[in-house]
Amino acid sequence: MASVTLKNVCKSFGAINVVEDVCIDIADGEFLVLLGPSGCGKSTTLRMIAGLEATSSGSISIGARDVTDLEPADRNIAMVFQNYALYPHKTVYENLAFGLRMRGVRKADIDSRVRRAAGVLGIEPLLSRRPRQLSGGQMQRAALGRALVREPEVFLLDEPLSNLDAKMRVQMREEIGRLHGETGISMIYVTHDQVEAMTLGDRVCIMRDGHVQQIAKPIDVYDHPASRFVASFIGSPE
Ligand code: ADP
Ligand code: MG
């Protein structure tokens, strides 16, 4: 696990600024939720932390390392997407093992890491299945497993529950909370769902039009919303 620091991070596509002067300090082991309406710049911010998108200006550090100019593979992060992005023709075991094999991890170590991650997520019975033989919740568990085997310092999750039905969403939400509790890995979790944000986050960072509006504990966001926008977005009385 590691702290993550964004200093004056900006991103523009052509003439349009989609992330402007974002400063966020995420503590070691913290669960930070990026919350805001569609199009406010959450995914772009997360993708810059992952290194999938370059910053236009500003800097990003993970632990003591400035990672602003590092490739995604050198950042020691793992990212989970809403569409799972599993390899359809590989078994769950192979999906979890593949990235480790590519990095040259020894076969015995791969096996123990895959089985440990599968144990944490309760997917040992599914290791020989292929993605099409899984339910949505099981696919999302496999996607989490594939991120977990990499033993990252930071977990980045972009709306990981949005393709699940309501019941499975609640179950997986609890699972992700438990995963954080058990591993202590720093997590940055993007959502537009206020309930998810308020139940999962140690702190919530509320964004609007590329700007951070407020960063605070859920209870403080409720009790002391920084603006009318925050109040109406999270549904607290002003
Ligand atoms: P969110 O995840 O909060 O819904 P995004 O970060 O995906 O928002 O997008 C923020 C804004 O940036 C949106 O207006 C989106 O259309 C724009 N955007 C995102 N990616 C690109 C891109 N590659 N090129 C141009 N505009 C983009
Ligand atoms: Mg998004």
The 10s digit of each residue's pLDDT in 43-62 is 999 999 999 999 999 999 99
Q: How many angstroms does the Cα of residue 110 sit away from the middle of ligand 2?
A: 32
**Chain centroid offset of residue 222 CA:** 23
pLDDT, residue 132, reads: 94
Question: What ipTM was predicted for this assembly?
Answer: 0.98
The amino acid present at 49, given as its one-letter code, is I
- Write the pLDDT tens digit of every residue in 171-186: 889 999 999 999 999 9
DSSP secondary structure string for all residues of 152-201: -SEEEEESTTTTS-HHHHHHHHHHHHHHHHHH--EEEEEES-HHHHHHH-
Q: Token match 């993605």: residue?
A: 131
Please determine, for residue 221, whether its predicted confidence score (pLDDT) is greater than 90: yes
The ligand 1 atom at the shortest distance from the C-alpha of residue 53 is 23
The ligand 1 atom at the shortest distance from the C-alpha of residue 47 is 6
Find the mean pLDDT for residues 154-171: 90
Q: How far apart are the first and last CA of the chain?
A: 37
Find the mean pLDDT for residues 81-86: 80
Whether residue 23 contacts residue 43, with contact meaning beta carbons closer than 8 Å, is answered with no
Nearest CA to ligand 1 atom 23: 13
Please determine, for residue 1, whether its predicted confidence score (pLDDT) is greater than 80: no
Please determine, for residue 82, whether its predicted confidence score (pLDDT) is greater than 80: no
Exposed, middle or buried, 52 (CB in 10 Å: 0-12/13-18/19+)? Answer: middle
82 lines ligand 1 (CB under 6 A): no
Number of Cβ within 10 Å of residue 43's Cβ equals 19
pLDDT, residue 236, reads: 63
pTM, to two decimals:
0.93
- Write the pLDDT tens digit of every residue in 97-126: 999 999 899 999 999 999 999 998 889 999
| Best-predicted range by mean pLDDT (34-48, 83-97, 132-146) | 34-48
pLDDT, residue 167, reads: 87
Q: How many angstroms does the Cα of residue 167 sit away from the middle of ligand 2?
A: 22
**What are the C-alpha distances in Å from 163 to residues 140, 159, 166, 229?**
9, 9, 9, 27
Q: How far apart are CA 238 and CA 190, in angstroms?
A: 24
Exposed, middle or buried, 188 (CB in 10 Å: 0-12/13-18/19+)? Answer: buried
Q: Token match 């992060």: residue?
A: 77
- Write the pLDDT tens digit of every residue in 19-43: 999 999 999 999 999 999 999 999 9
Give helix then strand counts, H and E, for the chain: 8, 10
